[in-house]
A and B are shown apart, each in its own frame.
Chain A
Amino acid sequence: MQMVHIATQTLSADANFVFDNIPQTYKHLHIRIYGRGKSAFTDGLSQYFACNNDFGGGGNNYSFHHVFGYGGGSYSSGYATSNNIMSTPQVYPDSTAGTGFFGSTVTDILDYSNTNKYKTFRVIGGWDKNGGGRTVMGGGHWRSNNAITRLDVQTDGGFLAGSRVSIYGVIA
């Protein structure tokens, strides 16, 4: 078996996610998320990753760039430097969406334990609420050679109960 389930957290109450003590025995990390946020922003809420508890205290070490599609067209955006968290905007439905609408993302972090390179994220995600939604492809990086041992997964206002995050290790 070359792809191993590391952990799954399903929220029984509104909250964010923390995965600590991530094993260093795999080559890559593969993360699947089913989520919805609690803030109100009809264009959609962001997915945030913080690595190793780095929320900007040691320097703003994240950059991220994205392309979006919606019913009326497409657009792109990016934040090149000096960000305190890895963000993928507008990828989860907000509190104004009808009950039961969730979004989903798949994130791959290659060579997450390699201490010779920065860590680059690749994210695909989207949501629809029958009257709005987004498809998103994004990337970003954490400017650190440290192995990723902890991931905080957040959204605006916190995730709604029922949201789920699963992390897998890919062996090489």
Chain B
Amino acid sequence: MPAPVELIQTFTVGSAGQQIIDFANIPQTYSDICILASTRNSSSGSEVYVTVNGSGGSGTAISNMYLISNSSSIYAAAANSAAAIWQTVFQTTAQAAGIFSNMQIYCPNYKSTTNKIFMVESIAEDTTQTGAQQRLMASALATSSPVTSMQLIAANGVFQQYSTFSLYGINK
């Protein structure tokens, strides 16, 4: 009987920083996949973009739905026909030093021939009210292709040292 959760690949960013984290050649042997990321960025204003199956592979086939709170306000938003799961909440140098974000991306049925769904829970923390943010997202990728790779890209700057990214496979 296979283990229910197995590590596929992990990255820890070194002192030079890293702009792109590439989970390539994702094994097609699990039911679902999940990414856990603890990140911080070198820029004061940046976002992390998540592309699927290569930078051009997503095209404009991704649609995003958000629920966002920054502790002083709540709002919902949508972004259709996008190339990436984007504006994922992200810890930057605008927020207090030493704090890293906490993010989970869950993709069930990632190797199916139907559209893919990505559920994202993410937290950016701070020592101010407005600097912190909670974000709940549902993103759909209109494709019959399996998810074979995922890339997490710092839109500006780089992921800072000690940022970690782990991809897990989940069995039924």
Contact = CB atoms under 8 A, between A and B. Distances in A.
A134 to B, nearest CB: 14
A172 B35 CA distance: 11
A77 B71 contact: yes
B99 interface: yes
Given A120-B123, A122-B104, A139-B102, A76 B70 contact: yes
B3 A139 contact: no
A170 B101 contact: no
Nearest to B2: A1
A76 B69 CA distance: 7
B67 A120 contact: no
B36 A2 contact: no
A171 interface: yes
Contacts of A63: 125-127, 132
B166 A137 contact: no
Interface stretch (B4-12, B18-26, B43-51): B4-12
Interface residues of A, number: 38
A105 to B, nearest CB: 13
Interface string B11-41: 0000000000000000000000000111010
B104 A67 contact: no
A122 B132 CA distance: 12
Interface string A42-79: 00000000000000000000010111000000111110
B132 A78 contact: yes
Interface stretch (A15-23, A90-98, A108-116): A108-116
B74 A67 contact: yes
Interface of A: 1-3, 27-28, 63, 65-67, 74-78, 80-81, 108-111, 114, 116-118, 120-122, 124, 137-141, 143, 145, 170-172
15 contacts: A1-B5, A2-B7, A27-B10, A63-B132, A65-B133, A65-B134, A81-B127, A110-B38, A117-B40, A117-B100, A122-B123, A137-B136, A140-B125, A170-B5, A170-B166
